[in-house]
């Protein structure tokens, strides 16, 4: 949750013009959005618990700009033909970066991740990718070789047994 909050707080505020992730806010429940408004406004709340949450989200936002921004810049500078994101979680690049319009995107993660992101991403009117597949992978199993061959694009989703 903190990563999503950091991305949402950083969206167009921490590094305006350099970092944008409008999808991140859609991935949060209403109660998870409270510290984001305070961070964007730059107004720390009173009280230790609220201030701790505020500072955690603020610090995470700064890290997300550096980390996510660097990866985004590299992908935009030289868009790949194929992109495999291991441990994709709630990554939103395929929905945020128009430079990926000719890229085949595979996102591999634990079975719960694609289900958790479906409501937010299904409402997006436009996605930026050539083909997309959410690949469910049991990360506890040692051998995942050939799993991606079993889920060729353009598959809406692929299930890989444990």
The structure tokens listed for 44 are 């720390």
Residue 126: its pLDDT value, please? 62
Higher per-residue pLDDT: 134 or 47: 47
Can you give the pTM of this predicted structure? Answer: 0.70
Question: Which pLDDT tens digit goes with each residue over 20-45?
Answer: 888 888 888 888 888 888 898 888 99
Specify which residues 107 forms β-bridges with: 85, 134
Contact 45, 29 (CB under 8 A): no
Asked whether the predicted pLDDT for residue 119 surpasses 80, the reply is no
Higher per-residue pLDDT: 55 or 127: 55
Higher per-residue pLDDT: 103 or 126: 103
Range 85-115 burial, b when 16+ CB lie within 10 A, else e? beebebbbbbbbbebbeebbbbbbbbeebbe
CA angle 15/91/86 to nearest 5° reads 125
Residue with tokens 């070789």: 145
């Amino acid at each position: 949750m903190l990563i999503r909050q950091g991305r949402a707080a950083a969206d167009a505020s921490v590094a305006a013009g350099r970092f944008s992730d409008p999808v991140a806010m859609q991935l949060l429940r209403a109660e998870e959005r409270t510290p984001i408004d305070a961070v964007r406004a730059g107004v720390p709340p009173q009280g230790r618990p609220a201030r701790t949450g505020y500072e955690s989200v603020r610090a995470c936002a700064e890290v997300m700009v550096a980390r996510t921004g660097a990866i985004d810049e590299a992908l935009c500078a030289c868009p790949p033909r194929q992109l495999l994101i291991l441990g994709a979680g709630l990554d939103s690049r395929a929905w945020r970066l128009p430079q990926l319009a000719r890229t085949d995107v595979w996102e591999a993660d634990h079975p719960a991740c694609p289900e958790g992101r479906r409501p937010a991403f299904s409402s997006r009117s436009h996605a930026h990718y050539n083909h997309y597949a959410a690949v469910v992978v049991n990360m506890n199993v040692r051998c995942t070789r050939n799993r991606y061959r079993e889920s060729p694009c353009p598959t809406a989703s692929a299930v890989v047994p444990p």
